[in-house]
Amino acid sequence: MKHFILLLFFALYMSAHADNQVYVAQGLVPTAGFLDDESFLTSFMEGDQLYLKVPKMILDKPMLFVCHSDKRRSHMQVVWSLLRDKILLKSQSIKSTAGVILPVAKNLTLMDNVIAAFPIEKNGGKQGSYCINITDLVLQQDIAWPQWFGVSFGKPISDISLLLEAKNLENEVIIKTRRGMVKYKSKVSVPLYFGFCALGKPIKGRRYDYRMGFINEHFQDITHGIQVNGVHNNRANISRWRLEKKDSDQSISVPLKPITFILSPEIPKKWRSFVKAGIMEWLPAFEAAGFKDAIVVSEVDSLSDWQRNSIGNNIVYWGRERYFRDSYHKEYGGTATLVTDYRTGEILKSDIFLNATRQNLENRYFTRAAPLDKRAQSFPFPDALIGRLFQCLAAHETGHALGLNDGNFGEYSYPVDKMNDTDWLGTMGHTPSIMNYTRPNNIAQPEDGIPPSLLVQKVGPADIYAICWAYREFPSKTSPDAESAALEDMIRLQDSISWYRYNDSQFEIIGPGRTDEVVETNDPVKSTVLALKNLERVIELIPGVCADQKDNARLIRLYNKSVELWYHHMRHVVSVIGGHGIHYKSINQPGRMFVPIPLKSQWEALDFLMHNAFNPPKWLTDPKFHARTRHSTFPDKVLEYEQRLVMELIRSSRLKRLEQMENTFGNQGLVQDYLGQLQFGLFMELWEDFGNVGRRRQQIQMTYIEALVGALETKVSGFDPNGQFFAYTDYSKGLLMLQLMDLKTDIEKGLKKNRNVATLGHWQLCLKKINTSL
C-alpha cells in the first residue's frame, strides 16, 4: 500500500508538472496543487466548508484580498493577525510612497479595520500554522470594498449561495462561489471569485500630476468635478506597470518582464489579429520611453476559471452582453479594470472587456464615414473594416489598462485645415489621442480623397508623450530632485505643443476642448459646417442601406444616430459661448490656465446656432422616408435636442463664465448683451413674421420661457458648493428677469398690431407663463 501511495503521488506530481509546462508555454500562471512548504495561505474543503491554513510566518504581512465579479475587480490590502484564540482579517490603511495614508474607508482615520474574526480550529493546522473556517466570509458576509465600482452584495440569499471549489496557486489562493443576491428585483446566484495574493517588493512610484492624464493608485480618492476651477494636484502615485530594463545602461532595452495580455478563447478567430493589433499599437510609445517589446499578446485554446481570475493573468474578454436580446442594441463599447498596489500605484492585473456589437460599430461608423468610405455604404460591412473598428476599440481600452484616463488630450488644438491633409493624417491622425471620444473623421469631404484607413482613430502623439512621461526610467544615480526636474521639463512641453495638453471633462464643459463625439478642431464652427455636409449625405444614403430589411428598425436606428450626431456637433459650437481654451499649469508657470475664447468667435457661434440649430434643415427634420414610416409627430428627436440646447445656452455655469469674462477682462455688459442676442434670435418672429411660428419653434420658445421662469424660482438653501454650482447668481437672475419683462412687452406690442393671427393662442400662452414669475 505504501508503494502504491508513492506511485500515485508521483503520477499526480508528473501530471501537474506537465500541465504547468503547458501553462508556462502559453504565458499563464501555473496552477500548483497543495503547497507543502506552506509559505503562503493554503485552502482545503471538507464537505461544504472551506478552511484556510495561515502560516505564522505571514502574520501581519500585507497581502491583497480580491473579488472578481463579471466586469468588476475589487480589492483591498489586508493582514492576518493573531488575537488570543482567534485569527483576525483586517483591512489596512496604506502608507503610500506619495507621502499620504489611504484610509480603509472615507473620512475614517483608522489604521486598520477588522473585517472578520475566526476561531482557530483545534485539529486543523500543522505545526507553524493556524487553521480557520472562512466559509461565512465568502458566502454570508457583506464586505465593504473600497472601490466606488466595487461589489456590494447586500444581504445574501443563503439557499442559493454555494461554495464550489478552491485552488492553491503560487502565492495565491482562489475561491470559487456563487453568491445569492437580489439584482433587478430578481433572486440570482452570481458567480464570484475571491482571492488572497501575496504582495511583492514595492516599485518606485511616480507622482500623480493633474496635467497628465493618468489614473491614480486609488482612483476615487482624487475628486474631480466641483472644485476651485475643477483642478488640483493631490499627493498620489499614478497607476503604471512595473517595467524595468534588462540592460539598464542602454537607451532602449527589452524589459525584464513585459506586460502580457492573453486573448480569451471566446474572441472569434477572425477578430483576434485585429484585437492584437490594437494592443500592439502602443509598442512605439514604449519604445519612445526606452522599452523594446514592452507588450506581449498571446492566444490560448482554453482558459480555466482559475487562470481567468488569477492575479498573474491579464485577460482580454469578449463580452457576452452582445448575445443577449435585451442588450443587443445598447451602446456597449468596452472597459478595463485595474488591480493596483496602493502603496506605489503598480498595476498588478488589468483585464480588458470588449463589449461592442458589430451592429453598434457599423452604426457609429456609418453616420460619420459612409460618404467617405464606399465599404460603409452597404450592410453588413466587410470583415476587414469591422476588424479595424475592433482594433480601434482594443487600442482605447488598452490605454486604460496601461494607466491612462478617459479625458480630453489635445482637443481644440488641431488645425481644421489639416483634417483633409493626407500627410498630416498619416502622421498625426485626426485627433491627438486614442483616449479621446473623437470617433472617425467626418470633417474631410469626399472630394478630398482621404484613404479610408486614415479615417479611424489610432494611438497618437499625445499618447506617446504620456507613456514617455509615465514609464521613462532614470539612471540609478539620478537624485530625486533631478528626476523631478526632468519630468517637469517633459510636462512643460505642453507650453509649446498644445496637443500634448490634458484636461478632465468629467463635470463642466468649459470650452471646445472638453466636448466628445466629434472631431474637436481649432475652429468648431467651420468643422461643424463641413461635418453637416457629410451628415446630409449620410441621411440620403439611409434608405438604400435599408432596402433589404423587412422592417424599419435599421432605418429608424440610423436616423436617430444621425440626429444624435447633429446634436453633438451643435453642442460643440455651444461650448464656444462662454468658453475657454484650457492649459493646466503649476503655480509658477507663466500665463493663464483658462483663456477666454475671443468674443468675435463667441458671437459667430451664437449666430451659427440661431440659423442652424434652431432653424434646422428639412433634410434633417423631415427626410423623405418619414412620409412612409411616420404616423405622428412623436417622437421628434430633433426637437428634443433643440430643447436641450436651449437649456445649455442659459445654464447657470455658462452665465457664470460670462460673468467672469465681464468682470476680469473689461467686457462690461457682456452677459446682458448675450442674453439679449439669444432672446432676439429665439423670438425673431416678433419682428419679422408674427403670425407664422411653426410647431417646432413654438415649443422652443416655450422651453426658453419655462427655463427662465424655473431659474428665477430656484432656491438654494445653505452654502453647499455643489448646490451653489447649479444656482444662478442674483446678478444673472436680475438680467433674466429683465429679459422676461422685455419679452412680455414685445409680445403685448405684437398682439396689439396683430389681433387675428393664427398663432394668437401661442403668444397668449407665452404671456401666461411669463406672468407667473413677474
Q: What is the pLDDT of residues 18-73, one digit of tens each?
A: 344 333 333 444 333 333 456 899 999 999 999 999 999 999 999 999 999 887 88
Query: % helix / strand / coil in the chain, to the nearest 5?
Result: 40, 20, 40
Question: How far does CA 206 lie from the centroid of its chain?
Answer: 22
| Diameter of the chain measured on Cα atoms | 113
**Model pLDDT for residues 160-180, shown as the tens digit of each residue:** 999 999 999 999 999 999 998
Nearest to 336 by CA among 400, 407, 265: 400
Cell of 14: 508528473
118 is written with which cell numbers?
Answer: 475566526
Q: At what angle do helices 670-682 and 652-664 cross, to 10 degrees?
A: 140
Dist. CA 82–CA 87, nearest whole Å: 5
124: pLDDT strictly greater than 70: no
The amino acid at residue 674 is Y
pLDDT exceeds cutoff 90 at 274: yes
Cα–Cα distance for residue pair 774/771, rounded to 1 Å? 5
Would you state the pLDDT for residue 108? 83
Distance CA 614, CA 610 (A): 5
What's the CA gap between 577 and 177, in Å, rounded?
Answer: 54
Q: Is the pLDDT of residue 101 over 70?
A: yes
Instruction: Please state, in angstroms and rounded to a whole number, the distance separating the CA atoms of residues 275 and 258.
Output: 18
Instruction: Identify the top-confidence range among 8-12, 412-416, 628-632.
Output: 412-416
Identify the CA nearest to 307 among candidates 26, 558, 664, 590: 26
* Identity of the residue numbered 433: S
Residue type at 379 in one-letter notation? F
Query: What's the CA gap between 681 and 678, in Å, rounded?
Result: 5
Q: How confident is the model at residue 150 (pLDDT cuts 50, 70, 90)?
A: very low
Instruction: Give mean pLDDT, residues 106-122.
Output: 90
> Rounded CA gap, 192 and 567, in Å?
41
By C-alpha distance, which of 583, 579, 632, 465 is closest to 210? 583
pLDDT, residue 289, reads: 97
> Which position has the grid cell 456590494?
152
The tally of CA atoms less than 13 A away on the side-chain side of residue 511 is 26
Report the 10 Å Cβ neighbour count for 201.
6
pLDDT on residue 224: 46
**Tell me, what amino acid is at 143?**
I
Residue 681 host element (H or E) = helix 670-682
For range 230-257, the mean pLDDT: 90
Query: What is the Cα–Cα distance from 300 to 387, expressed in whole angstroms?
Result: 20
For 497-523, how does the pLDDT look when each residue is reduced to its tens digit (9 = 90+)?
999 999 987 678 999 999 999 999 999
For 315, the 3-state DSSP assignment is strand
Helix, strand, or coil (residue 347): strand
Q: Tell which residue, 173, 175, 155, 156, has the closest CA to residue 165.
A: 175
Whether 709 contacts 740, CB under 8 Å = yes
Residue 721 predicted with pLDDT over 70:
no
The Cβ of residue 534 has, within 10 Å, a number of other Cβ atoms equal to 21
Strand-pairing partners, residue 165, are: 176
Buried b (16+ CB within 10 A) or exposed e, 500-512: bbbbbbeebbbbb
Backbone angles phi, psi at 754, to 5 degrees: -135, 80
Q: Which helix (H) or strand (E) holds 94?
A: strand 94-95
User: How far apart (Å, rounded) are the C-alpha atoms in residues 499 and 581?
Assistant: 12
- How many helices (H) does the chain have, and how many strands (E)? 23, 21
Could you tell me if 212 and 313 are in contact, meaning their C-beta atoms sit under 8 angstroms apart?
no
Q: State the Cα–Cα distance between residues 312 and 316, nearest whole angstrom.
A: 13
Q: Which ranges constitute the DSSP H helices of 511-598?
A: 524-545, 553-574
What's the confidence (pLDDT) of residue 229?
A: 52
Question: How far are the Cα atoms of 281, 323, 421, 488, 713 from residue 450, in angstroms, in the given order?
Answer: 21, 35, 8, 38, 53
753 exposure class (CB count in 10 Å sphere: 0-12, 13-18, 19+): exposed
C-alpha span between 725 and 229 (Å, rounded): 11
The whole-number pLDDT of residue 156 equals 81
More confidently predicted of 232 and 651: 651
Q: Report the distance separating Cα 689 and Cα 427, nearest Å.
A: 52
* SS3 of residue 69 by DSSP: strand
Tell the residue number behind the cell numbers 519630468, with chain if given. 487
Nearest in space to 229 (alpha carbons), one of 554, 498, 601, 587: 587
**What residues contact 680, with CB distance under 8 A and at least 6 apart?**
none
Please list, residue by residue across 638-669, b when 16 or more beta carbons sit within 10 angstroms of its beta carbon and e when fewer do: bbebbbebbebbbbbbbbbbbbbbbeeeebee
Evaluate if residue 716 carries a pLDDT over 90.
no
d(CA 760, CA 691): 8
The set of cell numbers assigned to 592 is 493663464
Nearest to 548 by CA among 382, 359, 378: 378
Pairing of strands 49-55, 42-46: antiparallel
The closest alpha carbon to 514, from 621, 413, 364, 616, belongs to: 413
Higher model confidence: residue 612 or residue 773? 612
The enclosing H or E element of 352 equals: strand 346-354
Instruction: Say yes or no to pLDDT of 199 above 50.
Output: yes
pLDDT digits 0-9 by tens, 422-474 = 999 999 999 999 999 999 999 999 999 999 999 999 999 999 999 999 999 99
Are 147 and 105 spatial neighbours (Cβ–Cβ below 8 Å)?
no
Closest CA to 266 of 332, 344, 379, 355: 355
pLDDT tens digit string along 589-611?
999 999 999 999 999 999 999 99
**Alpha-carbon distances, residue 735 vs 577, 650, 662, 728, 765 (angstroms):** 17, 12, 14, 11, 22
pLDDT of the residue at 33: 33
Measured at the CA of 569, the angle between CA 568 and CA 574, to 5 degrees, comes to 90
In the predicted model, is pLDDT for residue 338 greater than 50?
yes
Residue 719 scores a pLDDT above 70: no
Cβ–Cβ under 8 Å, residues 570 and 641: yes
**Residues 34 and 106: beta-carbon distance below 8 Å:** no
Mean pLDDT computed over every residue of the chain:
89
Q: Which residues contact 236 (CB under 8 A, 6 or more apart)?
A: 96, 98, 100, 207, 208, 216, 217, 218, 221, 222, 345
Where do we find the cell 483591498? 76
What percent of the chain clears pLDDT 90, i.e. is strictly above it? Answer: 75
